[in-house]
Amino acid sequence: MSEFTPSKEVLGYVEFDKAHQLWRVPSLDNKIFDYKNVKKVHIIEEPQKGKTAETVLNNIAASTAGIVLATPSTYVKVRIKVKFFDDTEIMFDISKDYLQLNTLDYHEDKRRAEEVKKALKVLEKRNKES
C-alpha cells in the first residue's frame, strides 16, 4: 500500500490522506483503510456493565440509532463504529472513560463523536453515489 500522508485530521481521532484516498485511526495502531470501503458510520453508546440501574429499560440499547435508553445514572462510553462493504467493522473510542449520561463530559464527547462521524459520513455518502 502507498505511503500515508495525512492531509486532514479530525480532533486527533481520525486522519485522512486525500492524495491516496486513505484514512486511519491513530488509536488503532494506525491501521490504514481505503475511502471506497466505508459503507456505514454510527455513533454507539456502550453501557458499562455493572454501572447501570437495575431496570430492564436501562439495559436496552437501540443499536441502529446508537441510543441508550437509560436513566441519567447510566455510565456509557461514546464510540464510533464503521462498517465496511465486506461486512467487517471497526470501533474506536471517543470517550477515554465511561461517563455518566447527561453530564458535561458526556455531552462534550457526543459533540466530538458527531464531528468525527460527519467527516466519515462524507466517505459513506460518496460510496453510495458511485
pLDDT in tens, the chain (130 residues): 458 999 999 999 999 999 999 999 999 998 999 999 999 999 999 999 875 444 334 444 443 345 555 555 789 999 999 999 999 999 999 999 999 999 999 999 999 999 999 999 999 999 988 6
The per-residue pLDDT for 33 is 97
The DSSP line for the chain is: -PPP--SEEETTTEEEETTTTEEE-GGGTT-EEEGGGEEEEEEEEEEPTTSS-SSTGGGEEETTTTEEE--TT-EEEEEEEEEETTS-EEEEES-SS-EETTSHHHHHHHHHHHHHHHHHHHHHHHHHH-
Q: What is the pLDDT of residue 40?
A: 97
